[in-house]
Amino acid sequence: SMVGSAMLARQARIALDVGHGAVRFANPLLPDTRSEIALPLIAGQRVIGALDVQSTQANAFDEASAEVLQIMADQLAVALINAQTLGRAEQQARTLERLNQLSRELTQATSLEQITSAVARHIPQLLNVQHLSLALTATPNQLTVYRLLRGGRAVLDSGQRFETSQTIAADAVRRGETVYFSDLSGLMARQPAAARFPRSAGAARF
């Protein structure tokens, strides 16, 4: 398409009459297009997209209009980058505020219920997770697992005992480091018992 070509070549592409074999994507929503110009959105060394302008008139674009549109495209690219940067900064500020709030609540907590309540309220907001459990060592060979989220609602069950050989969280406890799996399907196929506790993508050290 012209948009793809403009982005790859990092320069404007113009079709003065799309009815004469122009290499372009014929948008079914714009059937009356006769001429088109696509301009890359360049920010520094990055091409972040393209500005596509279409007209129902043939030969609607010339060198002068292409220069004007390229200036607009450059300004649009800068504005988009600024908006993305601002969005990331605002998200980081919200994340830090929630982490600070969680830290304050954990510092003031005096019971397991208060600890798990704070974790269950804040962690899903930070990480967008659906399942959250806390595994604590009960004996050298067993973990007590508390489920903290059920259907998006904070809960604290009575705790289930699992043999350490049966849980992914036990790997974190034994190794003393974070254990992370981006896709559990392969692991569960090889070790069905591991599926008994690990509704999350990873398990932290406890």
Cβ-Cβ contacts under 8 Å for 6 (sequence gap 6 or more): 12, 13, 38, 39, 40, 50
Catalogue the long-range contacts made by 62-69 (C-beta closer than 8 Å, 24 or more residues apart). Answer: 65/37, 66/12, 66/14, 66/37, 66/39, 69/12, 69/37, 69/39
pLDDT at 201: 37
Q: Look up residue 61 and give its DSSP letter.
A: -
Could you list the mean pLDDT of each consecutive 10-residue stretch along the chain, which spans 206 residues? 85 74 62 82 88 83 86 90 91 92 93 86 83 81 79 67 72 81 66 45 37
- Give whole-number Cα distances, 11 to 17, 46, 59, 123, 130, in Å: 19, 13, 19, 45, 45
pLDDT at 151: 60
pLDDT at 182: 76
pLDDT at 61: 84
Structure tokens at 177: 């480091």
Contact 50, 6 (CB under 8 A): yes
The C-alpha atoms of residue 168 and residue 185 are separated, in whole angstroms, by 13
pLDDT at 144: 83
Contact 41, 73 (CB under 8 A): yes
